[in-house]
């Protein structure tokens, strides 16, 4: 779905709390004929928010075109490492890199992990092997084309076991119906740092259309159990995708930061309550969420949601947690 910049420009807002230091721990970079989003585009979106550094998360871009299939995703890390080294903006773009490796390779995935580390020894921090799967044809599965119950497969877990010895973390992208599977994984590997992306993907389309309160109640129950796993931290963001069911991209005008905060606040506050500020970090998920709102509006919405938090809590969620978890 292409980004409609003229539509986004209908809503402009002054930057709230422009001096607040921010690390954006989740964005993508790519250069497709119909969609270019590299360092310059990200820097333009950041505008006057005080984003000091960012973390790139895999999106299947710029894989190697030759060589063993298992090693081709290393091309993405090579590309982003080169872009980060050359970027001269005030923000340290891709100060951390999260790549892809097929963990169903089992123990053999160690070669791939070591190749990522060799390609980016100063920035490479972890792996995301997206697990989003649903039986409904109305819900598109993750770009990694995962099977059902990926996180429980013996070979996946054998591959997962290779992360901690190399000092690597795991970013988890799935749907709210799968959070319990992630909890079981976290319990089985308490020494591996796991980062929950996008609140665990609460769905609002297909069989969940019009069932926001029911989905929220199920999500709460699953989040309660996951939060008890001390090796798991949570990213606060990524709720503005079409799959979340808010329908922002269908409106005549994009939402304001007040509208975003009002519609999504309960997910943020509940996660912060359960995980604690020192295990939470706000994220943009750009340019994916740009289909629904501008970068300025989404960060203003985060600042509105955090109004009742203490200065120490804000410092953790906007900056400190990401800095610690991704070792920036």
Q: What are phi and psi of 19, to 5 degrees?
A: -85, -10
In this structure, the number of other CB atoms found within 10 A of the CB of residue 65 comes to 7
Instruction: Give CA torsion, residues 212, 219, 26, 162, to 10 deg.
Output: -150
pLDDT value of position 89: 83
**Beta bridge mates, 37:** 30
Q: Would the CA dihedral through 5, 63, 195, 114 be positive or negative?
A: negative
Distance CA(217)–CA(262), nearest Å, equals 18
Q: Which domains does the chain have, with CATH numbers?
A: 5-325 (3.20.20.140)
Q: What does the block give as tokens for 187?
A: 């319990």
- Which residue ranges in the chain fall short of pLDDT 70? 1
pLDDT value of position 1: 64
Distance CA(68)–CA(47), nearest Å, equals 41
Q: What does the block give as tokens for 243?
A: 């799959």
Is-contact 125 115, C-beta < 8 A? Answer: no
pLDDT value of position 34: 87
Is-contact 60 32, C-beta < 8 A? Answer: no
Q: Which helix (H) or strand (E) holds 172?
A: strand 169-172
Is-contact 258 304, C-beta < 8 A? Answer: yes
Classify residue 49 by its DSSP letter: S
Closest to 188 measured CA to CA, from 158, 144, 220 = 158
Is-contact 287 41, C-beta < 8 A? Answer: yes
Q: What does the block give as tokens for 38?
A: 């590299």
pLDDT value of position 149: 97
Distance CA(267)–CA(260), nearest Å, equals 12
Rounded-to-5 percentages of helix, strand, coil across the chain: 45, 15, 40
């Amino acid at each position: 779905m292409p980004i409609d910049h003229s539509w986004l420009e209908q809503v402009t807002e002054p930057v709230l709390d422009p001096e607040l230091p921010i690390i954006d721990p989740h964005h993508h970079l790519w250069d497709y004929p119909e969609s270019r989003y590299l360092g310059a585009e990200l820097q333009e979106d950041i505008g006057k928010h005080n984003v000091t550094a960012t973390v790139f998360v895999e999106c299947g871009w710029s894989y190697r075109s030759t060589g063993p299939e298992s090693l081709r995703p290393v091309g993405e890390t090579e590309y982003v490492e080169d872009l980060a080294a050359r970027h001269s903006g005030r923000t340290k773009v891709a100060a951390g890199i999260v790549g892809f490796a097929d963990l169903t390779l089992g123990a053999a995935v160690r070669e791939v992990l070591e190749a990522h580390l060799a390609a980016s020894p100063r920035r490479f921090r972890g792996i995301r092997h997206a697990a989003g799967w649903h039986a409904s044809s109305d819900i598109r599965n993750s770009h990694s084309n995962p099977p059902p119950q990926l996180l429980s497969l013996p070979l996946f877990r054998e591959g997962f076991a290779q992360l901690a010895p190399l000092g690597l973390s795991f970013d988890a992208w799935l749907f709210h119906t799968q959070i319990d599977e992630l909890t079981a994984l976290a319990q089985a590997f308490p020494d591996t740092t796991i980062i929950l992306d996008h609140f665990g993907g609460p769905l609002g389309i297909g069989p969940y259309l019009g069932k926001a309160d029911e989905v929220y109640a199920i999500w709460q129950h699953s989040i309660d159990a996951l939060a008890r796993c001390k090796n798991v931290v949570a990213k606060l963001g990524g709720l503005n995708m079409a799959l979340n069911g808010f329908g922002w991209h269908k409106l005549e005008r994009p939402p304001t930061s007040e509208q975003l905060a009002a519609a999504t606040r309960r997910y943020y506050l509940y996660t912060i309550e359960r995980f604690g500020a020192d295990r939470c970090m706000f994220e943009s998920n750009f340019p994916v969420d740009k289909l629904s709102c501008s970068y300025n509006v989404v960060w203003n919405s985060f600042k509105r949601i955090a109004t009742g938090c203490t200065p120490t809590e804000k410092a953790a969620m906007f900056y400190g947690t990401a800095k610690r978890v991704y070792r920036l």
